[in-house]
Amino acid sequence: MISALFLLAVGLLAAGRASALLQSSRAVRTTRSSALRAAWSNGQAVREYQDFLEGKNQPTPLTEDIPSAIVVPADGAAGPVATMIESLRAPGAEIQDVIIPTDGTPPDEIGGNTEYPIYVALTNPDELGAFLDLAMEEGPWRSRASDMVFFSGGELPRSAPTLSGYPGCVEPYLRKANLARDGTTQVLLNFAMPRANANGRVPSPTDYATKLGPDAMGEEKWTGETAACGKWRQAAALRISCGGVRVRERFYRDWRRLMWERVLHDAVFGLVGSLREDRVSIKEVAMYYGEEASDMLWEATNLLRGALAVTITYGFEERIFGLAEAMGESVECEINEELFRRCNGVFCNYKLADDTKVARSGLEKGMRMHSEYMAFARTKRRLIGEDMGGRVVLNLGKEAEDAANSPMIQGNLRADGVI
């Protein structure tokens, strides 16, 4: 009798434990299922890879460069980007490009080709914005939108008043025109633009591509590479590589990460360095003010991931600092209106005093540290703003303005740290 009762008790205990485990596993499965449903997913990477394996949406392989069109300002003045594109040729190649002002029309064919790259060599934001507004209207330019090639990056920004060799970040303008997509050809320029010498000859570009040493697998790591994506990426890579520049062809998603890394480099190092009492170079910011730059970089990467679904990949600090240390020694940090609109402006809420429309990036209100430093640049250093006779009217918010007037940030910007 006792044995039977004992066996019955053991059986009930085992059944209770089994029931508890079953309920627990159901709870776990329910929780996991809910978490998966709540997760944001983007199938673009999978689709791109599947298209690559199946040969879909891939550009026609090119073995040699082809004649192209180059869009320049309405006055016909070819800047450094247009000069670079027109001057680069493979040895012995006979290519006749067509220069088209923004108020012109693209020809039906060039060199016997009805399809050809159209290099939009406009580095001024107003000119690029006006051209894209025109191109998206019904007419000859709209039918050629898929052949257009747009440039970002450029030579490291200097104190030149026009920054004619620095397109900067053009994504806001392309988004406004619905051209910021995987089919659009874009080129991230990472080299110093050549200028014609006294004899009229254009020297080779100065490449920014820099080796960082081997990775864990023994393969060489690089920073500062020029990159191309989109329909005419092969044509652009063939032409630019004729100048001795290292060019990588990328899918749009990967190219976009590289482009935003370059924007972060220019915006963060330029701003951190420009607020110093003495003039400093980009390299000196990397060497002596790296902690400030790193804090701002991490804040920016979090913002990019949340606002634009751009995830900067592992090792970005090494790549960004590596570019600054390798190529930034002769580049003094500066904030001016032309540079602001090409770079730092993507992280700020601003308008133009003459009511010219500003293309929005979607990042205007989320970067606290950048806003505080920019407010300090305006109120304490008086480097930018409508009160300096410029067109930029900043709206950084009360919190950023109050932080710029606090003694703490002034102490942080002093070399000796004294408040």
pLDDT of 228-258, one tens digit each?
Answer: 999 999 999 999 999 999 999 999 999 999 9
Residues 342 and 388 grouped into a single domain: yes
Q: Which spans in 39-143 are helix H? A: 44-54, 80-87, 125-135
Residues 241 and 269 grouped into a single domain: no
Question: pTM of the predicted model, to two decimals?
Answer: 0.84
Residues 205 and 160 grouped into a single domain: yes
Q: Minimal CA–CA distance to 71: which of 103, 24, 96, 42?
A: 103
Q: Count how many domains the chain has.
A: 2
Per-residue pLDDT of the chain in tens (419 residues, 90 and over written 9): 445 544 445 454 454 544 443 344 434 333 333 333 333 445 665 666 566 565 565 556 776 889 999 999 998 888 889 989 998 887 767 789 999 999 999 999 998 999 999 999 999 999 999 999 988 888 899 999 999 999 999 988 765 555 788 999 999 999 999 999 999 999 999 998 877 777 777 778 899 999 999 998 999 999 999 999 999 999 999 999 999 999 999 999 999 999 999 999 999 999 999 999 888 999 999 999 999 999 999 999 999 999 999 999 999 999 999 999 999 898 999 888 888 999 999 999 999 988 888 899 999 887 899 999 999 988 888 888 766 668 888 888 888 888 877 765 666 665 444 44
How far apart, in whole angstroms, are the C-alpha atoms of residue 333 and residue 31?
Answer: 51
Task: Name 366's Cβ contacts closer than 8 Å, sequence gap at least 6.
Answer: 303, 306, 307
**Final residue of a domain: which of 233, 250, 267?**
250
- Between 290-308 and 252-274, two packed helices, what is the crossing angle to 10 degrees? 140
Domain assignment present for residue 342? The answer is yes
Residues 236 and 278 grouped into a single domain: no
How far apart, in whole angstroms, are the C-alpha atoms of residue 270 and residue 274?
Answer: 6
Domain assignment present for residue 151? The answer is yes
H or E segment and range at residue 404: helix 398-404
**Final residue of a domain: which of 194, 228, 250?**
250
Q: Cβ(69)–Cβ(220) under 8 Å?
A: no
Distances (CA, A) of 91 to 88, 94, 235: 9, 9, 16
Domain assignment present for residue 139? The answer is yes
Give the pLDDT confidence score for residue 38 in this predicted structure.
36
Residues 203 and 275 grouped into a single domain: no
Q: Minimal CA–CA distance to 296: which of 326, 263, 256?
A: 263
Return the CA Rg of the chain.
27
Domain region containing 291: 258-412
Residues 327 and 241 grouped into a single domain: no
**Final residue of a domain: which of 203, 222, 250?**
250
Residues 263 and 393 grouped into a single domain: yes
